[in-house]
Amino acid sequence: VKICNFGSLNIDHVYAVDNFVQPGETISSSLYRRFAGGKGCNQSIALAHAGACVYHAGKVGKDGVWLRDLLAGNGVDTSFVEVVEESTGHAVIQVNRDGENSIILHGGANRAVSTSDADRILGHFSPGDYLLVQNETSAVGAVIACASRRGLITVLNPAPMDSAVADYPLELVDYFILNKIEGKMMTGEQEPDSIMRSMLERYPGAATLLTLGKDGVIYGDSKTTEYVAAERVVPVDTTGAGDTFVGYFLASLMSGAEVRRALQIACRASAICVTRPGAAESIPKRHEVEAEENICSSSAGKLH
Ligand code: RIB
C-alpha cells in the first residue's frame, strides 16, 4: 500500500520569544533558527520515519530545493515534487517560553498546485492506496475528488482551517484528523464529545480523529470509539506535533495495526516531537518511538 501526500513545503523562520508579540508592540527574540517545515513536509517525513511507502506531491521555488532533498534523504519519494518560478512557502513562527507557537504563513509555491496536477499525479496510484491532504496548498477540493474517483482512501487534515474547507467535497473523505479548534469550526460545537457526535452525523461513512494536545486523542467511526491519553512531557516546541501524529497514525494503520495501537504509537511519537525544537527535524524515528524510555530521558535540544 502506498500513500500520496499532496502537501505544503515551507521554510520555517522560528523566533524564541518570552511572550507572543501584541498589537502595536515590537519585541526582540532571544534566538532565531531556520527549519524545514510545512504540514505536508512534516507529515511525509513522519510517514517515512514510521515505515510507510510515501510519495510527496507539492511545489517549491529554487530557494526550496533543499526541502525536496531533505524529503528524499528521509526516505520520501520526491518524483512528484516540482520546482517552480514562485518562491517557496514560508512560515514566521514565534515560540514562547511554554513551547507554544504562533504562526504566520505565506503560501508561495504551495499555492501553485492545480487540478491538472491532481489528475496527472494520482493516476500513478491504485484503489486501496491512500491520499493525504492538508489545507496549506491550492486545489485541495480537486485533489480529494480525484482521489475518491480513483478509489483511494482519502484522509483530510483541514489545517490550518479556513472558510474554504466548507466548499471541499467533504462527503468523499474517509478519515478526518482535526484538533479542537478545527473541530469547533467544522461543527460549531464546543466540547469534544459534541464535536465527535456532530462529525459522525454529518459524515456517517467517515472516521474522525480529534487530537486534544496534552489531553490525548479521541477516535470515532460508526462502529467504535477509542480514547488514548497523551504521554506527559515537558514541551520545548510543540510545532510539528500534530503532523507527527498524523504520519505515525496513518503509517501504523497502513501496516495493518488496530486503531487503538495506531493511536498509541502516534501519541508516543508526538510526545517525543514536542521535546525537541523545530518541525520536520523534531520528528522521531521509529526506533526512538519504540524505545519507551526515550520519552522521559530524551536528550532534547533547547530553543530558549
Ligand atoms: O504544523 C506545523 C507547520 O505549520 C510548520 O512547520 C509551519 O510551516 C506550518 O505550516
Query: Could you report the per-residue pLDDT of 192-223, keeping only the tens digit for each?
Result: 999 999 999 999 999 999 999 999 999 999 99
What is the phi/psi pair of residue 237, to 5°?
-160, 115
What is the phi/psi pair of residue 120, to 5°?
-65, -50
Range list of H helices, 63-177: 65-73, 115-122, 140-149
Q: Do 260 and 228 meet the contact criterion of CB atoms below 8 Å apart?
A: yes
Cell numbers that stand for 242 in this block: 500534530
Single-letter residue type at 110: N
Q: For the segment 232-280, what is each residue's pLDDT rounded down to a tens digit?
A: 999 999 999 999 999 999 999 999 999 999 999 999 999 999 999 988 9
Q: Report CA(38)–ligand 1 centroid distance (Å).
A: 4
Q: Report CA(240)–ligand 1 centroid distance (Å).
A: 6
Q: Report CA(223)–ligand 1 centroid distance (Å).
A: 33
Q: Return d(Cα 34, Cα 240) in angstroms, integer.
A: 14
Provide the pLDDT for residue 299. 41
Provide the pLDDT for residue 298. 44
- Catalytic residue (one of 117, 221, 237, 243): 243
Share the mean pLDDT of the chain. Answer: 95
| Residue 243 designated active-site | yes
Write the DSSP symbol of residue 191. S
What is the end-to-end Cα distance of the chain in Å, rounded? 41
Going by DSSP bridges, is the β-strand pair 53-60/101-106 parallel, antiparallel, or unpaired?
unpaired
Q: pTM for the whole thing?
A: 0.94
Substitution candidate for ligand 1 out of 13, 42, 135 with most atoms within 8 A of CB: 42
